[in-house]
Amino acid sequence: MSGAAAAWGEVSVLTSLGVAVGVGVTVGVGVGQSLSHGSTALQPTQLPLQSKQFTMKILVIGSGGREHALAWKLGRSPDAERIFCAPGNAGTAEIAENVAISSGDLKALVRFARENRIDLTVIGPDDPLAAGIVDLFAAEKLRAFGPTKSAARIEASKIFAKGLMRAQKIPTAEARTFTDSSEALDYCERLKFPVVIKADGLALGKGVIIASDAAAARSAIDEMMTQGRFGDAGRRIVIEDFLRGTECSLHALVERSSYRLMESARDHKRALDGDQGPNTGGMGAFSPANNWNDKLQLQFETEIMQPLLRGLLQEGITFRGLLYPGLIITRDGARVLEFNCRFGDPETQALLPRMKSDLLPLLEATIDGNLGKCAIEWDTRAAVTVVLASGGYPGKYETGKTVSGLDDARKLEDVQIFHAGTKRANGEVKTAGGRVLAVTAVGLTLEAARARAYEAVSRIHFENCHYRHDIALGVIN
């Protein structure tokens, strides 16, 4: 942590009902709080002013189910004229115009946005954010939704995030960081297991290993630090205590020191039923979360969100974009597992079908610092998302399998099918990745949504299709 001591100005906390109030007001559900700590505020990064035209051309960067969901939701806005996806997938090609540019080719993306006069670019994956794509767009006076490279460190470096949480006394697991594998191995001999071993950098959601004993810990350390399983991302690691509880995902639109909370969700990270098998990018999700309540929201706002934004400002960092803290709910309350700086996948596929408000002006308001003028309206019904993956995922898997039954599944009411690893070849949809589809259904109850989602899943077929059969099942039971 740098010692950058920056007094921060008024902090306006905006919760789900969008109310901002003054100092001394108790924070609760639907209530906000303002804090004043000095008179000198940090100057925010200058971004282009909001476009004033009535219709907009929008570029969504990425090729997963999250990006399909974002393109689908943005395309429903009356202000959206054309949607482009780079590189997109077979699903986005049905509702937008795919552009053959990789999400990692930052210069080509900037050039495309400039030459095609894109009014707003929405970045889905974490890698381009960590590489500084928003900074490059801003330098060309192009509008992009997402944090700058400096702000994206909250996700791109577990070590940076742990240091920030420690400095701000944000509740999280006790941890140590290591840059030397021998020191990490020696430390493991003294631990009480299980422990959690995390690669410092980005590893496609697979850089977290729960080691049940010393042998598993040694193997994880060797793979990350010596064998380079995750490249430079695993050269430095975090070893932290294993926290027992249930996980919960929260998303918030954030502009400097103001934020707007979205609805809660829970995802299923393990590959197999019963939360067995290796960690994945996510095998399913449901919203709202059954383990979230008013008391936890009060704790979250006062002990996690406000100290985090204060700490970022003290570091000289202005955050604009989507902040997604991954939480675990323990007997002692909420604890932070990680911070993410983009929409979650597959949580986004469960959240956006429940969002009744237009997403586009919310993203615009985040960029322009006008969150206080916005409110988000939600469908009170529940949503369940089931991910269909290639057999073998998250390990080795085959692609090029023909996907059938999509039209039949779409006939079901309140069902949305979001493509991830798909491509169209010879008039057919083919598998092209580990996670292939995310099937979301909305229902009056979680049980009804779950039944409808699995009915849709039963109509879709491809060779070696794998999915979990227990998404949201534990909650219903």
The model's pLDDT over 220-235, given as tens digits with 9 standing for 90+, comes to 999 999 998 899 999 9
Tell me the pLDDT band of 49, cut-offs 50, 70 and 90: very low
Question: Which residues 6+ apart lie within 8 Å of 41 measured at CB?
Answer: 7, 8, 9
On whether the CB atoms of residues 250 and 264 are closer than 8 A, the answer is yes
Q: What is the mean pLDDT of residues 357-364?
A: 97
Q: Which of 217, 171, 222, 170 minimizes the C-alpha distance to 192?
A: 217
Tell me the average pLDDT across 305-321: 96
By CB neighbour count within 10 A (0-12 exposed, 13-18 middle, 19+ buried), where does 119 fall?
A: buried
Inform me whether the pLDDT recorded for 273 exceeds 80: yes
In words, the CATH class of domain 245-373 is: alpha beta
CA 158, 162, 163, 168: dihedral to nearest 10 degrees?
140
How many CB atoms are located within 10 Å of the residue 14 CB? 24
Q: Report the Cα–Cα distance between both ends of the chain, in Å, rounded.
A: 45
DSSP states along 386-423: EEEEETTTTS-----PEEB-HHHHHTSTTEEEEESSEE
Mean pLDDT over residues 324-329, rounded? 96
Q: What average pLDDT does the structure give for the chain?
A: 89
Inform me whether the pLDDT recorded for 143 exceeds 80.
Answer: yes
Structure tokens at 210: 């729960």
Q: How remote is the C-alpha of 100 from its chain's centroid?
A: 24
Give the tens place of pLDDT for each residue, 411-447.
999 999 999 999 999 999 999 999 999 999 999 999 9
* Share above pLDDT 70 across residues of the chain, in percent, rounded to a whole number: 89
Mean pLDDT, to the nearest integer, of 254-280?
A: 94
| Closest to 449 (Cα-Cα) out of 473, 466, 467, 465 | 473
Question: What does each C-alpha distance from 310 to 4, 35, 266 come to in angstroms?
Answer: 12, 10, 27
Domain boundaries in the chain? 56-145, 174-241, 245-373, 382-476
Write down the pLDDT at residue 30: 33
Which CATH topology does 174-241 take? Dna Ligase; domain 1 (3.30.1490)
Q: Please name the fold of domain 382-476.
A: Glycinamide Ribonucleotide Synthetase; Chain A, domain 4 (3.90.600)
Residue 64: both structure tokens together: 């997963």
Residue by residue, DSSP assigns 178-229 as ES-HHHHHHHHTTPPSPEEEEESS--TT--EEEESSHHHHHHHHIIIIIS-T
- Does residue 211 register a pLDDT over 50? yes
CATH number (3.40.50.20, 3.30.70.2660, 3.40.250.10, 3.90.1150.10) of 56-145 reads 3.40.50.20
DSSP H/E element including 361:
helix 359-368
Confidence (pTM)? 0.87
